[in-house]
């Protein structure tokens, strides 16, 4: 069937629809650049969503755990080979994604008789200042977009992602404290998870604060932190939400 | 993405081989130029953990190549390597270890165990055997890592022979041309001294380490020693259960002058 252009287009369209359908209900992940580093956030039920890639690089993703693992491993392999054969400073997201992952994802997506990658991703690269931080949003079909600084939302539904992205961009400042940033990301996560991104009027501050607390009960909130102020080569740290945003006393 | 996983999960050397980037194996013969050598390194246990030290000199025959070599290398946040022997080989080993440990930790989502780290260095030494046997690439390192299988976690010292045999040191180890002097003083201090090395505070241990190097330099021209007046200090690193700390030149100067606080 794929010899005919029309059938091929139809098959690709079906495949895209299939992937989006499989990703429905995936827990969103978010990343944001701050004065002291880049914060990545994911909410999971035991399986990881936020990962260290290299000294100044991290990723977060939603989708099938096996596919997240394939992409994570591919990124780690490429970054370590680059750092070993050249230098850690030569590991760059533009090259890692632009010349590596993106092409592999596209090829995988267009191979109709192989299982597609079920995942959506954001990669982060720590720069010397927030405006030099890089956030790369990578889609399951290999398309990607690059932004310097700011914050990035990754959700299964493209429309909800756009709405949440626009709302978060309006509020996001790199001068936010870590606690304030985590709070904003969690509120955005909750709005996406409960499909309230476009709700008018938007839920109040109190509703949002209570909302994400309730929605994350029993879940694991992963906070990855690329620390710009660290003197160590390895900048990635795992933060404890309870220390950043202690639960309200009963 | 479609390539198979490394034959040994999380093993960076396997990844290098799969990517056809394996380290080149040199076959040498005949007389070559004088090979740069690095001496002298040692490690001993003190009250807070392990102090690992090295002088800064590298020599080639009777030529002093430099007095600015860093022979104690932080491999990761719980491992130190001290280099004695040929820097060209030793620094490459350090780089392979650094990348291997981080690669394993990131890819397998757990740190490599101390025994595996110790064996990883032994494997590199064994692979270097042809050069070591020809006497041109010999490396006799010391390794310190944190054992997390005991509670509380304990830093440990290991030493090697040039072919890769590994030995755990109880309280101290030394390597390189000045190591004879250092080992003698450490053995004496441990048996008859007061305080014993394991009882020393950090400033005492730093002062002791610097004096060890000064003494070794008296008897071994390849050991650079320490000369505060010429701003020539050693490389000193501390390994605690909580991580690695570098003793700065200012701290070393203060320790020798006795202006630090015990």
DSSP labels, B175-189: ESTTHHHHHHHHHHH
Q: Average of pLDDT values for A58-77?
A: 97
Q: Average of pLDDT values for A37-66?
A: 96
What pLDDT is stored for residue A2 in this prediction?
58
CA A116 – CA A15 distance, rounded (Å):
8
What pLDDT is stored for residue A185 in this prediction?
98
Strand arrangement, sheet containing B243-247: B172-175, B41-46, B49-54, B235-240, B243-247
| Cβ atoms of A93 and A57 closer than 8 Å | yes
| Cβ atoms of B50 and B198 closer than 8 Å | no
User: Is the pLDDT confidence value at A85 over 50?
Assistant: yes
SS (H, E, C) A6-58: HHHHHHHHHHHHHHHHHHCCCCCEEEEEECCEEEEEEEECCCCCEEEEECCEE
Per-residue pLDDT 10s for chain B (262 aa) are: 545 555 678 888 888 888 877 766 555 555 555 666 667 999 999 999 999 999 999 888 888 888 888 999 999 999 999 999 888 899 999 999 999 999 999 999 999 999 999 999 999 999 998 888 887 788 999 999 999 999 999 999 999 998 899 999 999 999 999 999 999 999 999 999 999 999 999 999 999 999 999 999 999 888 888 988 888 899 999 999 999 999 999 999 999 988 765 5
Which of A80, A106, A236 should be substituted to probe chain B, the one whose Cβ sees the most B Cβ atoms within 10 Å?
A80
What pLDDT is stored for residue B6 in this prediction?
59
Q: Is A71 within 8 Å of B19 when comparing Cβ atoms?
A: no
* B63-66/B58-60 β-pairing: antiparallel
What pLDDT is stored for residue B2 in this prediction?
47
Task: Tell me the chain A residues in contact with residue B5 when contact means C-beta distances shorter than 8 Å.
Answer: 73
B205-214 pLDDT per residue, tens: 999 999 999 9
User: Is the pLDDT confidence value at A149 over 90?
Assistant: yes
What pLDDT is stored for residue B58 in this prediction?
86
Q: Average of pLDDT values for A89-117?
A: 95
* Choice among A190-199, A212-221, B6-15, B157-166 with the minimum mean pLDDT: B6-15
The two three-digit tokens of residue A82, written as one number:
């680059």
Task: Tell me the chain A residues in contact with residue B109 when contact means C-beta distances shorter than 8 Å.
Answer: 48, 51
Q: Average of pLDDT values for A96-101?
A: 95
Q: Average of pLDDT values for A219-245?
A: 95
Q: Is B12 within 8 Å of A80 when comparing Cβ atoms?
A: yes
What pLDDT is stored for residue B63 in this prediction?
86
The two three-digit tokens of residue B222, written as one number:
């390849």
Name the one residue in this structure whose structure tokens are 């953990």: B49
> Which of A 55-74 lie inside 8 A of B, CB atoms?
70-71, 73-74
Q: Is B106 within 8 Å of A54 when comparing Cβ atoms?
A: yes
B88-128 pLDDT per residue, tens: 899 999 999 999 999 999 999 999 999 999 999 999 999 99
Task: Tell me the chain B residues in contact with residue A104 when contact means C-beta distances shorter than 8 Å.
Answer: 1-2
The CATH architecture of the domain made up of A12-156+219-238 is 4-Layer Sandwich (3.60)
Backbone angles phi, psi at A108, to 5 degrees: -65, -40
Nearest CB among B76, B95, B107 relative to A73 is that of B107
Q: Which domains does chain B have, with CATH numbers?
A: 35-255 (3.60.20.10)
Smallest CA-to-CA distance from A192 within A206, A211, A177, A210 is with: A211
Is A88 within 8 Å of chain B by CB? no
């Amino acid at each position: 069937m794929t010899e005919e252009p029309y059938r091929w287009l139809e098959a690709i369209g079906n495949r895209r629809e299939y992937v989006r359908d499989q990703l429905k209900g995936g827990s969103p992940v978010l990343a944001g650049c701050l004065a002291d580093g880049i914060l990545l956030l994911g909410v999971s039920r035991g399986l990881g969503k936020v990962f260290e890639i290299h000294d100044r690089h991290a990723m977060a993703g939603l989708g099938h755990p096996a596919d997240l693992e394939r992409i994570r491993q591919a990124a780690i392999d490429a970054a370590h080979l680059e750092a070993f054969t050249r230098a850690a400073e030569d590991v760059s997201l533009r090259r890692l994604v632009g010349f590596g992952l993106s092409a592999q994802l596209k090829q995988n997506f267009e191979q109709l008789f192989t299982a597609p990658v079920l995942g959506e991703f954001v990669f982060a690269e720590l720069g010397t200042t927030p405006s030099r931080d890089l956030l790369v949003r990578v889609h399951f079909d290999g398309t990607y977009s690059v932004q310097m600084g700011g914050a990035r939302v990754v959700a299964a539904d493209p429309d909800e992602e756009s709405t949440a992205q626009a709302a978060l961009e309006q509020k996001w400042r790199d001068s936010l404290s870590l606690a304030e940033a985590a709070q904003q990301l969690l509120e955005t996560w909750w709005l996406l998870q409960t499909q309230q991104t476009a709700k008018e009027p938007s839920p109040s501050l109190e509703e949002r604060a209570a909302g994400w607390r309730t929605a994350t009960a029993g879940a694991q909130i992963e906070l990855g932190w690329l620390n710009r102020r660290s003197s160590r080569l390895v900048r990635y740290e795992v933060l404890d939400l309870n220390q950043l945003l202690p639960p309200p006393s009963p | 993405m479609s390539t198979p996983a490394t034959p040994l999960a999380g093993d960076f050397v396997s990844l290098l081989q799969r990517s056809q980037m394996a380290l080149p194996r040199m076959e040498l013969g005949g007389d070559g130029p004088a090979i740069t050598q690095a001496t002298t390194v040692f490690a001993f246990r003190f009250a807070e953990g392990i102090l690992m030290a090295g002088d800064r000199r590298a020599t080639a025959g009777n030529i002093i190549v430099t007095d600015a070599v860093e022979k104690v290398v932080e491999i990761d946040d719980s491992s130190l390597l001290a280099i004695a022997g040929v820097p060209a080989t030793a620094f490459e080993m350090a780089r392979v270890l650094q990348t291997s440990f981080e690669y394993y930790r990131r890819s397998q989502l757990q740190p490599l165990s101390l025994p595996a780290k110790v064996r990883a260095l032994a494997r590199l030494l064994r692979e270097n055997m042809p050069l070591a046997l020809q006497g041109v690439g010999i490396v006799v390192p010391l390794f310190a890592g944190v054992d997390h299988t005991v509670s509380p976690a304990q830093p440990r010292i290991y030493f090697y022979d040039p072919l890769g045999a590994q030995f755990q040191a109880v309280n101290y180890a030394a390597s390189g041309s000045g190591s004879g002097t250092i080992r003698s003083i450490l053995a004496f201090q441990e048996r008859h001294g007061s305080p014993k090395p394991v009882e020393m505070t950090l400033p005492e241990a730093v002062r002791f380490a610097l004096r060890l190097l000064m003494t070794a330099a008296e008897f071994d021209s390849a050991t650079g020693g320490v000369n505060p007046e010429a701003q020539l200090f050693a490389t000193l690193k501390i390994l605690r259960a909580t991580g690695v700390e570098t003793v700065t030149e200012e701290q070393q100067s203060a320790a020798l002058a006795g202006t630090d606080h015990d």
